Structure 1
């Protein structure tokens, strides 16, 4: 806005000059007078606007003069001169750092348009402050120079401020002045305008429209204000005669080696190798004209140290620190104890223990050497020790007998060995003390907290942590914790997105309890990969999807959950959330014959990642259902077979009678015994003249045709009728004219002994056997029965069905004497009853 106002003022002035008379061509038509163009901020400002009447621009505009500060209207006083039109204005408080004050008139046809006649820019601010912290520094690197710097002050002046640097060399009586542009607060004096070993006076002055101020002068010798280049450590050596001391040899930089003199100071700082903090600087004055070696003492023996040095001349600035150089103090035997942590498990060998022993230096332990090794040994008789392990690591694995109760750990270097640290072998106990463990990241570390049951024999805890992606035992770290403590902060070089296993073991008086372990990440993000889903099973309208676990090195955090999104063709997207430990999910209620899509989103507590999309189709015919039906049928059939076999085994004899009946043995038939006994009995009866005949109740040979035809079955039609015995017995394999094993007749025999035939009714018992009698090569019966009576010895009689040489007519004419054939007497009696 200020720039546009200035352009407008310039245009008005040019126009006014064009409208004046010839003699007043050099006079502007209007002019604004102020007391000063720069005023203190907030002070009053008075201004007067004078406009000539003969200006054509003014005479054409018959309107009162008005004032404006920037775009704001300011009231003014009336005209007080006849020849010139004069207006005066007073700004009670000028609060702008820079503004344009203008005078002009408003056009009568357009009151919103302001015609400017003249104007002036007014700036407000503060007088300069006294420059502070003036200092000058010489540089002797390549081209010696002297650079002076100062601070302009805390308050901004808001006005253009000029600085001037004044120097005066007393020995030469020369003065130099250096004017600087506004805003520049430093200046470099060339080498020709100062002398290294001559004192000079230097000060700086600040000026603006409201005043000026000068700094406090300083007097210095340029060489005393020089900042030297970093010196160089030539060597750090150990003195064997002085334990704990190092000798440091140094020199100045190559460009400044000529500047050795008495008033040079030296500072040294050092630290042990591996430490992150330097010691406080030690100052050594150099009183000779050449650099002399320095001795660093009270250092730990056998320890590597890094050292740096810097120099200054009198009160000049210190140089930058030199590069580091290392040295090792003379070694002595290690001292102090070691903190130990032992993990014991039973070996597969009989009465053997697998031992993992870890250790680290305690606060009082000093290795006192560089090449330190550690020895684990057993105490033997007569003070001897048996070495079981020797290593330069912080752990050792070995086997011990279950009878060993103590081992000894010793630190060894070239100067000697430390006192042995006694380590008790604690057995593993099943007693649980630690209930829950949590690990929370906090400022590059882990805050581990746990809860405990606090049993009476609890003596403390062991907190163990290690990176899960590194299997080397050297990465296992531990800390011994008091029993009253329930939290611990773990510090170390933890990497983000890498898993760490943190375990808390309870320690008892006589053993170590089982640990509680938790996985922790310092920082988490989305996994590098998402699981690839695949179809595991198919049911009717359902799919089971499975996936593999993400490798530990690609998880980048703790898996929070799996979420499966799936949808049918042009359908609504559905989602199923699966727990981190699950590896399968079932998608249900899908429509048959539709194309479905699905993808998985795996999430950690630091981000999520989507997997690839898979496609599958629900078939109308469910193969799985059919397969399940077939499997169920097969299982049912197998159960039936198993039950049947068990039944056969349990009722073996009964089933054997049905499927494998016993075949009678004619050679051992009881009928033969009965016949012999009967004949013996009859003969004895005849001798005693007391007849006691034995009767055969039933004898039958059943035709196979009669078995197949129930109507012709003699046993089904009548149990009392035995008139067909003559025909049935002809089916016997011993009868001539009947076939052997190929015959269709099946011999049946039922034998029952009874008393006198007239006193008791006949009882008939049918044999259940359907098997034919065994055939033998030798026949024990005649092919055709012949009965020979006492009177007619030459007559043949066929008692059964017609046979060769026997006719029915002859059978009828024959007279049978049953006393001679007691075996067939029952048949005759039965036949008589039927007649």
Structure 2
């Protein structure tokens, strides 16, 4: 071929080419030459390769008639912009076939426009790259600042404005009028600031500075800045050398200052100076700094109209003409001259009677009012019952904000004064009122607006007698009374915002008191937090008691400093190895729960969750199980057994008492006491009628209820008639008892402990005739021992009763010192000392 063109094969009539392929094609087309190397096949003429963004673009493609690609063929020209085809129109041209295309709005930053011919294949014959952007805007906000610390230089910066989309060059131009010399500085691409070196500066000479921007679409220049380099300097932090009081001028301080050590060579220049102050007990600087103009560093400055006797912190900053202000210097302190305190103090008094009710205990709190001025450093306070200054009547002196003392009940007011080294303030009168036992405050609520404040709200039932309210608050974790704060509130208010010393997660006690004309009423109190979170610890669960299938868990109260909020709930979670978890809520005051319906076959686990409005915390897990027979069950079984046994014993005893005579006769025979018996208790009713009573002092006779009757032979021999006197020959109990008596001659004491009781035999009284068939009354066959008489209890001899035919001077049981029996007389019976034998008195049975 005479002319070689790069041919691109298309699949069909449309093909998508990437941008980099288009660039390669464009570069290739630019170097297509005919075989003789003179002319390309086609050429594109445009209105411009760089155009404003969004403007129209026109282009014309001319294909030479002698181009080998189109020789002998009909020429059809196509246009393509990057990946897509655009429509063109055929135009006439003297050098060949031509086509023209117009892009109405070119809104791309750059694109490739190519011209192709349709032969056997689609052939690219020419191409051009078109870029679009904006002309540069004039740089804005040109500012310059001088650095007077080594190295000395002037740095200028500006705002380039909107992005141009094209490569833009910036140059910085300076004109120094005194030297009549200009400098131009090329700014590196991409930067919008430049530092002018010391060689291009005259510090105390004005110079003009501006910036010029240039790109392919045009150029722009910023507004010029005229300045003196020193006036554009931001000075280093100045220094305060000394702050002290001005002698003879109360409320004034004198400040001596200097520039930084690197800038002391400018000490002869005049500067603008700003001073700011704050009291030592304040966190806020004065709102508007005090401006002092044309001040040399060697000259001191004065600040007056300050509080007397107050320590102040002071800071300064400097400016040269209209240069930027330097930073604030470090703080220095000074104290103004003292004067006596002025103004009144706000006070709050709480009173209550002591145990004797003769004096009042007083707690007095105070704070400076808005008008109060301490006017000194070391301020103390004096409470006195007298208005005049002096030691007399003083009840309290302190440097704090509260005082506790006692006063007689009749004292109605005290006087509070502030004292410093310069004098004493006018006394503030404080009224002492007796506490009132009524309260009209209700529904005290606290809402935290933020972490450092609390909004207290309350309601009152009756405000007609009120003069106002007192809101008192203090941190509950600290017991120091100096931390108690208060605020007096008008009676028309029902809320107060507490701020200043409130910390999150700390409890505060708040009390609202009603204030009357003649006293203070009862308060309503509430605890509050400005912010809450989960507790810092949980209590330990303790097994307190178990019984049957129940168990009681208890725990101690969480310390106040670990709660981090108001406890809202205690929840105990428990579960067994084979069962679902269950939850039990506890009463906040009781702090215990009872877990019911537990199975003795399983091991249980449990933990407690403590919650506040700020979060919850879970405690550690404990393990427990229920014993089949716990202590409570065993105690209940023992009690039930004891109750059953007691009921059985009561039944037995009642049964025994109901048949006590029969049982007593079986086990404990009723044996009369010989020393306390009489014939009245041993005779039957028939005997009583036969034998008259000889002892009028004896009570009514009680007769034996149990006697045995023995049948004796009807006829007794003479020897048988003497059986009463021959005890050794008689085998009956009566014979042994009487004949063997130690009081009868011939008695031999037996070593046996058991002496059988006598068998009672009645054959009738002496006056009655012998019965045909004698009766024998058997008292008992018991072998209970008789009371053996000691020798010291030997009975006296008494005269026998003559009622039954016995001689009055006859003694029974032998001779006695008290009575001497006559010859042939019988023994004398000792009736009083032997009432038992007295009851057995017998008539003589011998036949005279």
Partner of residue 408 from structure 1, selected from 379, 404, 415: 415
Over aligned residues, Cα RMSD in angstroms? 5.0
**Which protein is richer in helix relative to its size?**
1
Give the aligned partner of residue 58 of structure 2. 46
User: For residues 497 and 755 of structure 2, what CA distance do their matches in structure 1 show?
Assistant: 105
Q: 1:503 to 1:786 in 2, by over 3 A?
A: closer
Partner of residue 739 from structure 2, selected from 736, 741, 749: 736
User: For residues 211 and 348 of structure 2, what CA distance do their matches in structure 1 show?
Assistant: 70
Give the aligned partner of residue 562 of structure 2. 554
Partner of residue 100 from structure 1, selected from 111, 123, 134: 111
Equivalent residues of 1:39, 1:122 under 8 A apart: yes
Q: Once structures 1 and 2 are overlaid, which stretch shifts more, 39-48 or 367-376?
A: 39-48
User: For residues 416 and 645 of structure 2, what CA distance do their matches in structure 1 show?
Assistant: 71
1:440 aligns with 2:452: no
Give the aligned partner of residue 371 of structure 1. 378
User: For residues 622 and 636 of structure 2, what CA distance do their matches in structure 1 show?
Assistant: 26
- 1:657-714 deviation per Cα after TM superposition (whole angstroms, max 9, x unaligned): x9999976746847499999999999xxxxxxxxxxxxx99976957xx6xxxxx999
Report the Cα offset of residue 79 of structure 1.
Answer: 8.3
Equivalent residues of 1:701, 1:748 under 8 A apart: no
1:247 aligns with 2:254: yes
Q: 1:672 to 1:6 in 2, by over 3 A?
A: closer
Give the count of matched residue pairs.
730
Alignment of 1:582-593 (within 5 A): 582-593=590-601
Alignment of 1:265-664 (within 5 A): 265-275=272-282, 276-286=284-294, 291-348=298-355, 351-379=358-386, 385-443=392-450, 444-631=452-639
User: For residues 297 and 323 of structure 1, what CA distance do their matches in structure 2 show?
Assistant: 21
Equivalent residues of 1:128, 1:211 under 8 A apart: yes
Equivalent residues of 2:78, 2:118 under 8 A apart: no
Secondary structure, in 3 states, of the residue corresponding to 1:559? coil
Partner of residue 208 from structure 1, selected from 211, 215, 218: 215
Equivalent residues of 2:538, 2:608 under 8 A apart: yes
Alignment of 1:156-195 (within 5 A): 156-195=163-202
Secondary structure, in 3 states, of the residue corresponding to 2:511? strand
Report the Cα offset of residue 449 of structure 1.
Answer: 0.9
Report the Cα offset of residue 729 of structure 1.
Answer: 9.9
Q: Once structures 1 and 2 are overlaid, which stretch shifts more, 79-88 or 271-280?
A: 79-88
Q: 1:212 to 1:827 in 2, by over 3 A?
A: farther
Q: Once structures 1 and 2 are overlaid, which stretch shifts more, 596-605 or 73-82?
A: 73-82
Report the Cα offset of residue 23 of structure 1.
Answer: 3.3
User: For residues 206 and 255 of structure 2, what CA distance do their matches in structure 1 show?
Assistant: 35
Q: 1:743 to 1:251 in 2, by over 3 A?
A: same
Report the Cα offset of residue 326 of structure 1.
Answer: 1.6
1:128 aligns with 2:131: no
Equivalent residues of 1:701, 1:749 under 8 A apart: no
Report the Cα offset of residue 234 of structure 1.
Answer: 1.4
1:23 aligns with 2:31: no
Q: 1:556 to 1:534 in 2, by over 3 A?
A: same
Secondary structure, in 3 states, of the residue corresponding to 1:10? helix
Give the aligned partner of residue 815 of structure 1. none
Q: Once structures 1 and 2 are overlaid, which stretch shifts more, 120-129 or 503-512?
A: 120-129
Secondary structure, in 3 states, of the residue corresponding to 1:428? coil
User: For residues 116 and 587 of structure 1, what CA distance do their matches in structure 2 show?
Assistant: 93
Report the Cα offset of residue 432 of structure 1.
Answer: 1.9
Q: 1:334 to 1:741 in 2, by over 3 A?
A: same
Equivalent residues of 1:67, 1:101 under 8 A apart: no
Give the aligned partner of residue 9 of structure 1. 22
Secondary structure, in 3 states, of the residue corresponding to 1:601? strand
User: For residues 64 and 746 of structure 1, what CA distance do their matches in structure 2 show?
Assistant: 175
Secondary structure, in 3 states, of the residue corresponding to 2:230? helix
Give the aligned partner of residue 223 of structure 1. 230
Alignment of 1:720-799 (within 5 A): 735-736=738-739, 742-743=754-755, 745=757
Give the aligned partner of residue 650 of structure 1. none
Q: 1:601 to 1:337 in 2, by over 3 A?
A: same
- 1:63-111 deviation per Cα after TM superposition (whole angstroms, max 9, x unaligned): 9765555555544445867987755432222334x2424447799999x
- List runs of 5+ in structure 2 lacking aligned partners: 1-16, 654-666, 695-699, 712-723, 725-729, 742-749, 770-776, 807-837
Q: TM-score, normalised by structure 1?
A: 0.75
Secondary structure, in 3 states, of the residue corresponding to 1:385? coil
User: For residues 644 and 334 of structure 1, what CA distance do their matches in structure 2 show?
Assistant: 97
Secondary structure, in 3 states, of the residue corresponding to 2:393? strand
Report the Cα offset of residue 315 of structure 1.
Answer: 2.5
User: For residues 746 and 459 of structure 1, what CA distance do their matches in structure 2 show?
Assistant: 107
Q: 1:344 to 1:779 in 2, by over 3 A?
A: same
Report the Cα offset of residue 414 of structure 1.
Answer: 0.3
- List runs of 5+ in structure 1 lacking aligned partners: 646-657, 683-695, 707-711, 715-725, 758-764, 791-821, 829-835
User: For residues 710 and 60 of structure 2, what CA distance do their matches in structure 1 show?
Assistant: 162
User: For residues 137 and 647 of structure 2, what CA distance do their matches in structure 1 show?
Assistant: 110
Partner of residue 103 from structure 2, selected from 87, 91, 96: 91
Report the Cα offset of residue 412 of structure 1.
Answer: 0.4
Secondary structure, in 3 states, of the residue corresponding to 2:385? strand
User: For residues 573 and 98 of structure 2, what CA distance do their matches in structure 1 show?
Assistant: 86
Q: 1:236 to 1:290 in 2, by over 3 A?
A: closer
Q: 1:457 to 1:76 in 2, by over 3 A?
A: same
User: For residues 579 and 761 of structure 2, what CA distance do their matches in structure 1 show?
Assistant: 85
Report the Cα offset of residue 167 of structure 1.
Answer: 0.5
User: For residues 350 and 710 of structure 2, what CA distance do their matches in structure 1 show?
Assistant: 94
Q: 1:775 to 1:332 in 2, by over 3 A?
A: same
Q: 1:127 to 1:728 in 2, by over 3 A?
A: farther
User: For residues 462 and 669 of structure 2, what CA distance do their matches in structure 1 show?
Assistant: 78
Equivalent residues of 2:454, 2:497 under 8 A apart: yes
Report the Cα offset of residue 617 of structure 1.
Answer: 2.1
Equivalent residues of 2:759, 2:779 under 8 A apart: no
Partner of residue 153 from structure 2, selected from 134, 138, 145: 145
Equivalent residues of 1:13, 1:117 under 8 A apart: no
Equivalent residues of 1:700, 1:728 under 8 A apart: no
Secondary structure, in 3 states, of the residue corresponding to 2:254? strand
Equivalent residues of 2:209, 2:225 under 8 A apart: yes
